[in-house]
Amino acid sequence: MKILSIGNSFSHDAHRYLHEIAKREGENVETVNLFIGGCSLETHYNNLIKNLVVYDYEKNGGESSGKVSISRALKEEKWDVVTLQQASHLSADIDTYFPYIVELAKYVRENCPDAKIFVHQTWAYDNGSDRLKSVFYPSADAMFADVRRSYDLAAKTIDADGIIYSGETMLKALNCGINVYRDGFHAGFGAGRYLLGLVWYKTFTGNDITGNGFNDFDEKVSDNDRQIIIKAVKGVISSEKTRIRLYGLNAL
């Protein structure tokens, strides 16, 4: 399976362990993240129409191998999945998604007609963090309520093949007492990125993660935190609304 993300630092976090998690489970999931820190849908759209070679090409969760444009990256491989997402500081504001996500989805479909388009649901900021205060929300739960509504509407508008429920799972783990952040908004190098990798892996393969043995973390994850994270991921991704086969990807 080959996944391309037109993203930013949040998809960078999500991709960090995904390839290796899949490899440990006997699955071949090749990933590329097109990275610009804090990049919004509007900026992605402007970069696309100007054909700007400004994205770091990050393969399988590793370092960049050079700069590419969106159009070139879409032609590099026969992608099974292409993901789109909003910048985190704009994710709660549905007005910032349009018309940009519509035009990006249209371009992807025209140039990768066999690829499924998934919307990557980003997450709320940590309770009490300066980032949360900067967007004027009293809590992560309050911010995420608007983030969820925005992604749901965006996915429906572009007739996306599905949503990757990273934000929902991050909040679930946070409310279970897991520190999933490293700076109040990016995913932690250990627990946060591990959670995201499992969300993406389970979303796109449907495989059981109960006994997942991946352990090559950039920051230690305790056995207790690992079990809570696995339970949180299974609690979100096992629901009928998120089953990948509903979106026709069971053949991948």
57: exposed, middle or buried (Cβ count in 10 Å: 0-12, 13-18, 19+): middle
pLDDT for 240 beyond 90: no
* pLDDT given for residue 137 in this prediction: 97
pLDDT digits (tens, 9 = 90+) for 31-67: 999 999 999 999 999 999 999 999 999 999 998 989 9
Half-sphere exposure for 134 (CA within 13 Å, toward CB): 11
Whether pLDDT at 248 is above 80: no
Using the Cα atoms of residue 59, residue 63, residue 65 and residue 71 in order, give the sign of their dihedral: positive
Residue 242, pLDDT score: 47
Domains of the chain: 2-240 (3.40.50.1110)
- DSSP output for 113-175: TT-EEEEE---PPPTT-HHHHHTT-SSHHHHHHHHHHHHHHHHHHTT-SEEE-HHHHHHHHHH
Q: What is the pLDDT of residue 238?
A: 77
H-run or E-run covering 205: helix 191-205
What pLDDT sits at residue 60?
97
Average pLDDT over residues 100-120: 98
In 3D space, the residue among 12, 31, 2, 27 whose CA is nearest the CA of residue 192 turns out to be 12
Mean local confidence (pLDDT), 144-152: 98
Say what the pTM is: 0.94
User: pLDDT tens for residues 125-145?
Assistant: 999 999 999 999 999 999 999
The whole-number pLDDT of residue 239 equals 57
pLDDT tier at 250, thresholds 50, 70, 90 = very low
Give CA–CA dist 203/190, Å, rounded: 20
The average pLDDT across 178-191 equals 97
